[in-house]
């Protein structure tokens, strides 16, 4: 179902965005939409049903949700279903663009972007993609040869073929307004006897792993530290009651929810975050100057979260724990050391902030506007400031 914000105003130039329905893809699209609207453009988003939690909060003219599917398994029947679903998504996207008339299309990754991006290409709409991770995702790898430009967060992005590199530009990961508005915040180390604000989240859908390991981990800490802890944790709905009970047993104060719509504020107020290491998460931690214990999502095809976490750790901004080998005892030992050495957390916070790219959304918007207004300037041999080649 699409969310329309009043009648479409076709007197203003419009730009279409498409993103997979998780925060890692949607938040950069959210950031770009806000910047483009400040520059006088209308913005329309095409995504999938997982983005339902967005409501009408997206800063654009309309949100369109179209069907999409990825192939899982070896069943011919499943393959036929996947083709049929994506064909339906392609047709719906094609019709949406007839209505909204975008001057350009920008894809932010995830398999749900494939039908809309192919529909834009079929309509000869100038198109580009943005890759948040240091490892190019499969959907973006598929689309990269077809688009006019590729915006990257990292110069040494993996799986970047030579022909794609020639039309790639380093812009960084765009940050939402809610994050940029808090960029001036100063990290305040906790003092002896004062509360310790610990934030735990696992992406837009939560993470069962954190619900299982963190209460056990915190119960292993000395009583003096447990008395000082204030935990804010995102939990899946199925887990929230059990997690609450576990913290009561451990004597730890906690606020639990399935989703925090003010997560940037929560991040900015924490002394330490424990979370996954999606590119957007890491970029926002850096922008806010917050240290983190990162547990990459395991078993991902491209291991992109592990790459993001190790970059953060090598910069001295945090600590990377692989989920398959971390134990409550090991994690508790690290947390105890950090809570008892606030200067260590403060140094990590400073190094985290040194990684911030506050101008990324403006750089990306510059590229998108050029694509919309002067698409003929892009070619395979294009050279410009910020070019990845």
* DSSP conformation letters of 79-101: HHHHHHHHHHHHHHHHHHHHHH-
Mean pLDDT of all residues in 153-162: 86
pLDDT of residue 156: 84
Half-sphere exposure of 275 (CA within 13 A, CB side): 34
Q: Which of 105-109, 257-261, 264-268 has the least mean pLDDT? A: 257-261
Going by pLDDT thresholds of 50, 70 and 90, the confidence category of residue 71 is low
CB atoms near residue 12 (< 10 Å) = 11
3-state helix, strand, coil in the chain (%, to 5): 45, 15, 40
Residue 388 has pLDDT above 60, yes or no: no
pLDDT at site 7: 45
**Rg of the chain over all Cα atoms, to the nearest angstrom:** 22
Could you give the 3-state DSSP secondary structure of residue 274? strand
Rounded Cα distance, 44 and 58, in Å = 9
- pLDDT at position 375 is 93
386 — pLDDT class (breaks 50, 70, 90): very low
The number of angstroms, rounded, from the C-alpha of 113 to the middle of its chain's C-alpha atoms is 15
For residue 52, what pLDDT is reported? 53
For the stretch 311-326, pLDDT in tens is: 999 999 999 999 999 9
| Residue tagged 């949100």 (tokens) | 63
Between strands 253-257 and 229-234, the pairing is parallel
Interacting residues of 152 by C-beta distance below 8 A, sequence separation 6+: 130, 131, 160, 168, 169, 170, 171, 388
Token code pair at residue 62 = 């309309």
Domains of the chain with bracketed CATH: 3-175+358-377 (3.40.50.2000), 180-353 (3.40.50.2000)
Average pLDDT over residues 77-101: 92
Confidence class for position 377, pLDDT limits 50, 70, 90: confident
């Amino acid at each position: 179902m699409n969310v329309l914000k009043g009648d479409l105003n076709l007197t203003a130039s419009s730009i279409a965005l498409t993103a997979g329905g998780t925060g890692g893809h949607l938040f950069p699209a959210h950031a770009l939409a806000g910047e483009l609207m400040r520059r006088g453009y209308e913005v329309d988003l095409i995504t999938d049903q997982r983005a339902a939690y967005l409501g009408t909060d997206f800063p654009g003219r309309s949100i369109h949700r179209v069907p999409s599917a990825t192939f899982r398994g070896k069943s011919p029947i499943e393959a036929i279903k996947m083709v049929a679903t994506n064909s339906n998504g392609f047709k719906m996207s094609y019709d949406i663009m007839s209505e909204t008339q975008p001057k350009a299309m920008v894809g932010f990754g995830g398999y749900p972007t494939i039908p809309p991006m192919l529909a834009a290409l079929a309509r000869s709409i100038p198109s580009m993609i943005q890759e948040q991770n240091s490892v190019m995702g499969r959907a973006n790898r598929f689309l990269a040869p077809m688009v006019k430009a590729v915006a990257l967060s990292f110069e040494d992005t993996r799986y970047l073929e030579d022909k794609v590199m020639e039309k790639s530009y380093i812009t960084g990961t765009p940050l939402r307004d809610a994050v940029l508005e808090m960029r001036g915040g100063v990290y305040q180390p906790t003092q002896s006897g004062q509360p310790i604000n610990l934030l735990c989240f696992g992406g837009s859908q939560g993470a069962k792993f954190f619900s299982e390991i963190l209460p056990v981990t915190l119960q292993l800490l000395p009583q003096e530290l447990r008395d000082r802890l204030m935990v804010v944790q995102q939990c899946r709905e199925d887990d929230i009651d059990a997690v609450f009970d576990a913290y009561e047993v451990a004597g730890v104060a906690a606020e639990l929810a399935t989703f925090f719509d003010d997560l940037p504020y929560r991040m900015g107020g924490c002394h330490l975050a424990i979370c996954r290491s999606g590119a957007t998460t890491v970029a926002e931690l850096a922008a806010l100057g917050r240290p983190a214990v990162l547990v990459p999502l395991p078993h991902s095809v491209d291991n992109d979260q592990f790459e993001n976490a190790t970059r953060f750790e090598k910069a001295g901004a945090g600590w990377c724990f692989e989920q398959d080998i971390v134990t409550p005892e090991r994690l508790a030992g690290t947390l105890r050391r950090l809570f008892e050495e606030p200067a260590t957390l403060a140094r990590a916070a400073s190094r985290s902030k040194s990684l911030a790219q506050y101008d990324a959304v403006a750089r990306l918007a510059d590229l998108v506007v050029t694509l919309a207004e002067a698409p003929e300037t892009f070619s395979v041999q294009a050279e410009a400031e910020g070019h990845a080649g």
